[in-house]
Amino acid sequence: MSKVLIDPGHGGIDDGATGFGIKEKDRNLVMAKAIARELRLQGVQAVLTREDDKSILLADRIALEHKEKPDCFISCHMDAAAETASGMTIWVHSKADNVIWNWAQDVMKELKAVGFTTNRAQSVSRGYPGSPSSDYYVNRETVSPSMLIEFGFITNQNNLNEHIEHCTEYAKAVAKAVCRFVGVEYKEIIPQLDGCVDRVEYDRVCALKDKFQSGLDEQQKRAEKAEAALKQAAALAVQTNSCLNQANSLMAQILRLTKEE
C-alpha cells in the first residue's frame, strides 16, 4: 500500500502566521486532515505528523518521516505578507530532479483548476524564498520526495476565504496529483457518509464539518483563555484581599499607638 506523510505546519505554542484573527497552525491542520481523508478514500495510507494542536519540533517531524518511510512527504502551510500579496506556491528542494519538479507542477495544475486569487508570476519554485540555493528544513532533511505547499496568503482576505470555502476541493486536487505520483488510479468514490447520495453532497458535508470543527476549536481555545483569565482574576482577588487585611491591621496598630500617646 502506498503511504504519504502529511505535515500540518506549526502547532501548539507556534501559531505560524496570523491573518484576520485566524492562526495559520489551525488552517494547516484542517487542510492536512482534508488531504489525508481524500487519500484514504483512494486506498492510500495517510499519516499525519500531528493530529491536533500540539507543538512538534522540526527534527521530530523528520524523525517520523525517516521511521515511516513514506512514498512522499507534503508540508501544509499558508504564506504571510502585505495584504495585497496573494497566490499559492509550492517549494521543492533546490536540487530536486525532474521527477519531483514535474510532480510539483502537476499538483499546482490541479490546484489552479480549482482556482485561487493570485498576483504571483511563478507558482512552483526550487529552494527557499530569496535564496534558491537554500532549502526549507522539511525539504532538506527528508529522504522521500517532498514539497512544501503555501496554500495562499493568510494575510489576504480572498486567499483566506478560499482556503476556508474550498478546502475539500484543494484537498482533492492534491490527492489526484499524489495518486498519479505514487501510481494509484484516482477514482471518484462515493463514500457512505451521513447518508450522502453522491460525491458532491459528500464534499459539501466535509466542507461544512471542516468549518464547524474549526469553529469549535476556536471556541474551545477562547473558553480556555477565559478560564485562565478567571483563575488569574481569582488569584488577584485573593492577593488584594490579603493586602486589604494587612492594611486594616496596620491601620488598627496606628490608631492604637495614637491613643496610647
Query: What pLDDT digit, counting tens, does each position of 134-157 carry?
Result: 999 999 999 999 999 999 999 999
Q: 249 or 119: which carries more pLDDT confidence?
A: 119
Q: Quick check: helix, strand or coil at residue 185?
A: coil
Question: Average pLDDT, whole number, for the chain?
Answer: 89
The dotted CATH code for 3-189 is: 3.40.630.40
The answer to whether the CB of 118 falls within 8 A of the CB of 190 is no
How much is the average pLDDT of 162-190?
A: 94
Q: How confident is the model at residue 241 (pLDDT cuts 50, 70, 90)?
A: confident
The answer to whether the CB of 214 falls within 8 A of the CB of 136 is no
Q: Mention every residue, 6+ apart, whose C-beta is less than 8 A from residue 128.
A: 91, 94, 134, 135, 136
Report the interhelical angle of 157-165 vs 199-260 (nearest 10°): 120
CA distances from 80 to 27, 57, 253 (A): 13, 21, 62
DSSP 148: E
pTM of the entire predicted model: 0.77
How much is the average pLDDT of 204-213?
A: 66
CA 240/CA 41 separation, integer angstroms: 59
Lowest mean pLDDT among 49-63, 99-113, 210-224: 210-224
How much is the average pLDDT of 114-135?
A: 92
**Block residue for cell numbers 489576504:** 156
Q: How confident is the model at residue 214 (pLDDT cuts 50, 70, 90)?
A: low
Least Cα distance to 94 among 134, 151, 37, 144 occurs for: 134
Burial of 120 from C-beta contacts in 10 A (0-12 / 13-18 / 19+) = middle
How much is the average pLDDT of 197-218?
A: 63
